[in-house]
Amino acid sequence: MLYESKVLKTLLKKIEISLDNSNIINLESAIDICKDINGINYLSPDILSSIENIVADIMNLQYLSSYIQEGLQEIIIHSPEDITLLYGTESKKEKINIDKQIYRLSLEALAVRSKIKWNYNEPFSSFPTIIHGREARVTFVHSSVTNSSFPICCIRFHSQNILSFQEFGLTAIQESWIVEQIKTKKNILISGATKSGKTTLLKSILNTIPKQEHLITLEDTAELELNRQNTTSLINRDDDKRYDLKQLCKHALRLSPDRMALGEMRSNEAVSFILAMNTGHKGLMSTLHANNAVDAIERVALLFHFYSEYALETDVVMSIICRNIDYVIHLEQQRVTEIIQVFGQEKNKVIFENIYPKQNKESLII
């Protein structure tokens, strides 16, 4: 193969040195490097074609272009021979015909372009970027902490479409019931495991909010992109240490919100968000990881208790949370499997009613 030629091997070494110094080499520079190696101004069409492919693969992830199709949600790369493509609940195995060194350099180039530190000393990195025109969150794991010689790359694409409630397994009657709860500004949590569809469902819910209402979204990655006016989006960017989601919650309350949506509750922002509910703000929504709907309430209590600067007893924390969260919607594999209505707590146990599924066959939510 031409990749095995002395010129191209030297080019790869030069690119590696350049990336180690946080510099990107473009096609023109790569051609000049190869001319200097040969000491001539002419390169054969085959060599030029190989240079173009190398630069495109390393600098633009060209080797992934054929896989970026409608419906693709995630790409997990363990090695060029072990790639998983995720389409909703379905997965597909693939192999990429690419030099292993080029694969490794392509990840290093993406980290450099995104101004992300990723190396032996900092083996884990997660950051937002754009892959072939689609917004995504990329997660890298350095080869030094894997059981193979390859770095791991996970690319999760943001959902570009707003799905109907039926696509989450709900009927038209159930959709009407949920829309009514949104209209009356109930505080709602959406729970589930990773890739269960929490953020996608939240987008669908937010899309039903009356347009005259001022909506504020709070995220660390811009996933809740809505085509609606009267929306303020606040982002806690990974590379900006001046503020966090907890501070954004506090500032959002000064912007006269009719609604607030927190992309994911997982740290100290839980305190500000729950306290916002406790001060009379309605129509607040968020997602979080949990095993079931009741577990979601208990997880919020744990986050509140762990990050709160107030030394509150557990029953006080549970009381605050259960008094202010109206409903929890739980998903599994992008299907709504559980909805509970929260009434309060007794001896740190959540008092709730199963709205869906429900034993009463006459219930409109069945």
Give the pLDDT confidence score for residue 264 in this predicted structure: 92
Residues 6+ away with beta carbon under 8 Å from 349: none
How is residue 26 written in tokens? 């473009």
The residues of the chain scoring below 50 in pLDDT are 1-4, 361-364, 366
Give the pLDDT confidence score for residue 337 in this predicted structure: 95
Please check whether residues 53 and 192 belong to one and the same domain: no
Q: What is the CATH number of the domain that holds 288?
A: 3.40.50.300
| Strand partners of residue 135 | 130
Which of 157, 188, 223 terminates a domain? The answer is 157
Residue 363: inside a domain, yes or no?
A: no
Please check whether residues 212 and 107 belong to one and the same domain: no
Please check whether residues 200 and 151 belong to one and the same domain: no
Give the pLDDT confidence score for residue 240 in this predicted structure: 61
Burial 59-90 (b: 16+ CB within 10 A, else e): bbbbbbeeebeeebbbbbbbbbeebebbeeee
Give the pLDDT confidence score for residue 363 in this predicted structure: 43
Q: Is residue 220 classed as helix, strand or coil in its secondary structure?
A: coil
**Among candidate residues 70, 130, 75, 71, the one with its CA nearest the CA of residue 103:** 75
d(CA 325, CA 358): 20
**Among candidate residues 76, 103, 70, the one with its CA nearest the CA of residue 92:** 76
Please check whether residues 125 and 226 belong to one and the same domain: no
**Among candidate residues 287, 311, 309, 310, the one with its CA nearest the CA of residue 299:** 287
Give the pLDDT confidence score for residue 359 in this predicted structure: 52
d(CA 285, CA 265): 10
Residue 127 dihedral angles phi and psi, to the nearest 5° = -155, 155
Residue 293: inside a domain, yes or no?
A: yes
Order the strands of the 335-346 sheet from edge to edge. 231-235, 215-219, 259-262, 284-289, 188-192, 327-332, 335-346, 349-356
Residue 90 dihedral angles phi and psi, to the nearest 5° = -105, 150
Which of 132, 157, 182 terminates a domain? The answer is 157
Please check whether residues 176 and 265 belong to one and the same domain: yes
Give the pLDDT confidence score for residue 231 in this predicted structure: 93
Scanning the structure block, which residue is given the tokens 């794991």?
141
Please check whether residues 40 and 66 belong to one and the same domain: yes
Burial 219-231 (b: 16+ CB within 10 A, else e): bbbebbbeeeeeb
Residue 336 dihedral angles phi and psi, to the nearest 5° = -70, 120
Please check whether residues 222 and 137 belong to one and the same domain: no
For residue 104, the enclosing domain spans: 2-157
Residue 349: inside a domain, yes or no?
A: yes
